[in-house]
Amino acid sequence: MTNKAKKELHEVTRRAYAAEADMKACIAAKGDALSQKMGYGDLDGLNAIHRYLIDKYHWLPRDVRALTVDELQMLIEGVDLG
């Protein structure tokens, strides 16, 4: 692989990681709102999302924590946070 190809690959990888981080931050913000709605007390962000999914689907915590960012996004997309 040439140096130019490596640089391009690294840039694509960097952008993918940045997009995933942005999506995770949006999910965490939804978790904050969900925590308030569900009365989860001190839980916020991703922890609130995880708790919601455990309660709703009766999944094990280890299974919920193993979900990808894309899977989390899909699962909470339809949740009413209003």
* pTM check: above 0.85: no
Q: What is the pLDDT of residue 80?
A: 82
Q: What is the pLDDT of residue 48?
A: 96
Instruction: Please state at what angle helix 3-38 crosses helix 69-76, rounded to 10 degrees.
Output: 40
Distance CA 80, CA 36 (A): 12
Q: Which residues are within 8 A (CB) of 63 and not within 5 positions of it... i.e. 6 or more apart?
A: none
Report pLDDT digits (tens) over 1-59.
899 999 999 999 999 999 999 999 999 999 999 999 999 999 999 999 999 999 999 99
